[in-house]
Amino acid sequence: MSTRYSFGTLSECTEGFTKKLGEGGFGLVFEGKLGEERVAVKCLECASQGKKELAEVETIVSIQHTNLVKLIGFCAEKFEGLLVYEYIPRGSLDRWIYYHYNNVPLDWCDRCRIILGVAKGLCYLHEECRRKFAHLDIKPQNILLDGNFNDKMADYGLCKLINREVLTMIRGTPGYMAPEWLTLRITEKVDVYSFGVVIMETISGRKNIDNSQPEENVQLISLLREKAQNIQLVDPIDKHTDDMVSHQEEVVQMMKLAIWCLQHDNIERPSMSNVIKVLEGAISVETFGANSLLYVQDKPSTYSVPSQASILSGPR
């Protein structure tokens, strides 16, 4: 069971909500301290959404895994909705892979451990919970790192029980969304697609959509498709550290796993349990016909950044 806190208690512990950590799903996140324990307090920005999410607190509390951020408690007073999570000290993955925080790029071992941790967290949601969940917003900003660079997924308050409700609007973040979001035929395989994007960002050290790149390289997944077709998969590897270059054969194998996850047809994507088997060396991507996986999708730009018209327009 989670702890119910008063608004006053959480306001005091966060010093009046002054220490902003970032922005999560549905609201801002602030650092706080309850007794001797540092916490992260998420303020739900929409009262109606807050009531809906708080009604599911006990369901969220039941989701306990070493690779998921722990929900400690909540507050529901009048129009205030707040969730209290454990504090994760090193922040989100994006600051380490995009910007090389403190000019220290992650080495290959750290990146492998992080990718495996995300896979295990997703496998728990998809296959090991009593009821099947989908996260729906997998991205580096929702992957937090502890003091030992072990990862924990955040914002699983966005989780939805598969088959429990019909999704009537697109959710998630452009650049990480699977093609089937355009039809709202959603399964847990949307997370597998997003996971493939996260793999590529983690091993290339750049954003999936990066407008600072030359026009032909703006979209990482389009670039991946081109490099796969031309058998040049070493090109996107993060060159900021010799460690990545020295492990390029292993990195290329990881890219092949990403390509498998990025298949246009969700049926062709692996389950997260099979992803873990690949990462742990129990099976290889080649076992499933790697040559057929080198064509990520016909029109990656169509799905990497869905246009507002395709989201909002009805039949014409």
Which one has a higher pLDDT value, 155 or 34?
34
Query: Has residue 19 got a pLDDT over 70?
Result: yes
Quick one: three-class SS letters along 24-85?
ECCEEEEEEEECCEEEEEEEECCHHHHHHHHCCHHHHHCCCCCCECCEEEEEEECCEEEEEE
113 inside domain = yes
Q: Do both 165 and 250 map to the same domain?
A: yes
Residue 77 banded pLDDT, cuts 50, 70, 90: confident
Strands (E) located in the chain: 3-4, 20-24, 27-34, 37-44, 71-77, 80-86, 133-134, 143-145, 151-153, 160-161
User: Mean pLDDT in the chain?
Assistant: 81
Predicted TM-score (pTM) of this structure: 0.84
Q: Do both 165 and 285 map to the same domain?
A: yes
1 inside domain = no
Number of domains in the chain: 2
Q: Do both 104 and 74 map to the same domain?
A: no
Domain final position from 52, 68, 86: 86
Cα 157 from Cα 150, distance rounded (Å): 21
CB 204 within 8 A of CB 111: no
Q: Do both 115 and 153 map to the same domain?
A: yes
Lowest-confidence range among 8-17, 49-58, 67-76, 159-168?
A: 159-168
Per-residue tokens: 277: 């088997």
pLDDT at 310: 24
Which one has a higher pLDDT value, 161 or 114?
114
Query: Has residue 10 got a pLDDT over 90?
Result: yes
Query: Has residue 274 got a pLDDT over 90?
Result: yes
pLDDT at 57: 66
Which one has a higher pLDDT value, 44 or 24?
44
Cα 174 from Cα 183, distance rounded (Å): 15
Domain final position from 36, 67, 86: 86
Residue 79 banded pLDDT, cuts 50, 70, 90: low
Q: Do both 228 and 108 map to the same domain?
A: yes
Q: Do both 13 and 140 map to the same domain?
A: no
Structural domain harbouring 54: 7-86
Which one has a higher pLDDT value, 121 or 299?
121
Residue 273 banded pLDDT, cuts 50, 70, 90: very high
> What would the mean pLDDT of 187-210 be, rounded to a whole number?
94
Q: Do both 196 and 271 map to the same domain?
A: yes
The segment with the largest mean pLDDT, out of 2-11, 197-206, 218-227, is: 197-206
pLDDT, tens only, 152-188: 998 875 555 554 454 556 677 889 999 998 887 888 9
- Catalytic residue list: 137
Residue 279 banded pLDDT, cuts 50, 70, 90: very high
pLDDT at 169: 62
Q: Do both 45 and 107 map to the same domain?
A: no
